[in-house]
Structure formats: C-alpha cells, structure tokens
C-alpha cells in the first residue's frame, strides 16, 4: 500500500494527527514514562519519527510531570514546530530526528 492509497481504518497519530499506515515505522509511547511509575499505564501509538522527537525534546521527568497527555505534548513549542513540519510529509515518512537533541 502506498501513501496515496491510505486505508481509512489506519490509526491516527495523537501527536501529528496523520494516519499511521501499517508499513510505517511506529511505536508505543508511555504517557507517563515507565521509569517514573508509568509501567502498565496508558500508552499511545505514534509514528516512530514523532516518538523520537518527543524523547529528543523532553526528559523523562518533564514527560511525567508536565507532558503526560497528547494535548500537553502538542502544546510544547518545539513539538508544535515539529508537528507543523511533519504534517507536510506523507503518513509513512520517516527520517532521522531533525534538530539538536535536548541539553542534558
């Protein structure tokens, strides 16, 4: 299946809002990181590129404390810029995470 023939049953990425085709790189994101008590907690299916950007932007502590919902993640300034950028790409698009990783 190509990006031009999307299956209407494809799940929607809660970060970027694009469909996640079966052949796209994808992964589950724990809304509260496992290391911060989220083991067995809620997870969302994301494009792998979206998941990579979340972890390149935020620490586990920030994710647990302030960014533990898709709405909060979308409101983060760097992630909002990323979403605007990736929204112009086809649903199956994947590349290395753009931009610098967060400072540790």
What's the whole-model pTM score?
A: 0.86
- Long-range contacts of range 99-103, CB-CB < 8 Å, 24 or more positions apart? 99/56, 101/56, 102/56, 102/57, 102/58, 102/59
Q: Quote the tokens at residue 23.
A: 């052949």
**Residue 1 confidence (pLDDT):** 43
**Residue 2 confidence (pLDDT):** 45
Q: Specify whether the CB–CB gap between 20 and 26 falls below 8 A.
A: yes
* Rg of the chain on CA atoms, in Å: 14
Q: Which residues of the chain have pLDDT under 50?
A: 1-4
Within 10 Å of residue 93's Cβ, how many Cβ atoms? 15
101 CB-near residues (< 8 Å, 6+ apart): 56
87 CB-near residues (< 8 Å, 6+ apart): 16, 17, 18
């Amino acid at each position: 299946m190509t990006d031009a023939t999307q299956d209407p049953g494809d799940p929607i990425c809660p970060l970027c809002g694009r469909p996640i085709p079966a052949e796209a790189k994808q992964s589950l994101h724990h809304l509260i990181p496992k290391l911060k008590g989220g083991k067995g907690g809620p997870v969302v299916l994301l494009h792998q590129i979206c998941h990579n950007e979340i972890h390149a932007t935020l620490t586990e502590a920030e994710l647990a404390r302030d960014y533990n919902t898709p709405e909060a993640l979308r409101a983060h300034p760097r992630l909002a810029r990323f979403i605007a950028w990736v929204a112009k790409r086809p649903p199956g698009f994947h590349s290395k995470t753009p931009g610098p990783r967060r400072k540790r």
